[in-house]
Amino acid sequence: MKKPNTSAEIPEIRPGQSIELLKELHILTRDGKLNQDTRRKLKQVYHLYQFIEPLLEGAETLVDHGAGKSYLGFILYDLYLKGRDSGEIIGIETRAELVDKSQVLAARLGFERMRFLACTVEDSLTAPELPARIDVVTALHACNTATDDAIRFALSKNAKHMVLVPCCQAEVAATMRARKNESLSQKPLAELWRHPIHTRELGSHLTNVLRCLLLESHGYDVTVTELVGWEHSMKNELIIASKRGQARKNARERAEAILREFNLEELAPRFTY
């Protein structure tokens, strides 16, 4: 009977990685092999990890908000936390069936310091199962306002670091679209979003600009870069925020000015608190 593959038999895989997990994530095929597509996916996983790994130094609690199937949490545990004596990863997800599946997988893999909560963003703010302070908050491809919810959660927990990959940002674009005629009659700048495709693209861009200003107004240093090719998605903007204590003095004023310029004042509670 053929023995199961080990990470040592596949040069691309880092020593000690869980073969069972990589199969679960469809990074390895059922027979434990890499093909062209799965090799590219593995490269993308390591590309994401290289951004997050430096933030984990000294971190005791990481929360993955809108965790879905908790693939990110499992990867971080396998690559980093598994080799440490302390620290935990908590996945927060509203869909109870996904939470149940993640709990079963964590138990099967022996990932004892992973746990999962089925709750809403509002509930997570006061959930007694969560510590008062959390070191790192991640939100990978959190759709539309779910990224903003993760930011609000992280700020409430005074997180040291945030790692955000926003996705499907529709709220700002919808507000721009609803007030487009008014904007076109008053502002030559409204030509930037006169056409529907430009409304969508500019709305997405403005959303992330406003998020960065919000984070800077709360004392975070912000880096925005490209997460090339992750999950073959065009939504590959990566926002990394680290708490430094000194708020950017004009960040909130700049955000308020942008909201006025683009007729988005009604969204001020989301971006200027």
Predicted pLDDT of residue 2: 47
Cβ–Cβ under 8 Å, residues 38 and 67: no
Gap between the Cα atoms of 62 and 52, Å rounded: 11
Collapsing DSSP to helix, strand or coil, 87 comes out as coil
Q: So what's the pLDDT on residue 144? A: 81
Burial of 106 (0-12, 13-18, 19+ CB in 10 A): buried
What pLDDT does 1 receive? 45
- Residues spanned by CATH 3.40.50.150 within the chain? 15-156
Amino acid occupying residue 93:
E
Q: Which amino acid is at 197?
A: I
Tell me the mean pLDDT per 10 residues along the chain, length 273. 56 88 88 84 86 95 94 94 95 96 96 96 92 94 87 96 92 96 94 96 96 98 82 72 93 97 96 96
In the prediction, which pLDDT does 8 show? 54
Alpha-carbon span 14 to 88, nearest angstrom:
21
pTM: 0.90
What one-letter code names the amino acid at 186?
Q
| Residues facing 140 on adjacent strands | 165
Question: Could you tell me what percent of the chain has a pLDDT over 90?
Answer: 74
Query: Taking Cα atoms as reference points, which of 163, 268, 153 lies closest to residue 210?
Result: 268
Give yes or no for a contact between 46 and 70, defined as CB atoms under 8 angstroms apart: no
Is CATH 3.90.1150.10 the classification given to domain 15-156? Answer: no
How crowded is residue 151: how many other Cβ atoms within 10 Å of its Cβ? 28
Query: What integer pLDDT is reported at residue 227 of this predicted model?
Result: 80
Separation of alpha carbons 176 and 183, rounded Å: 8
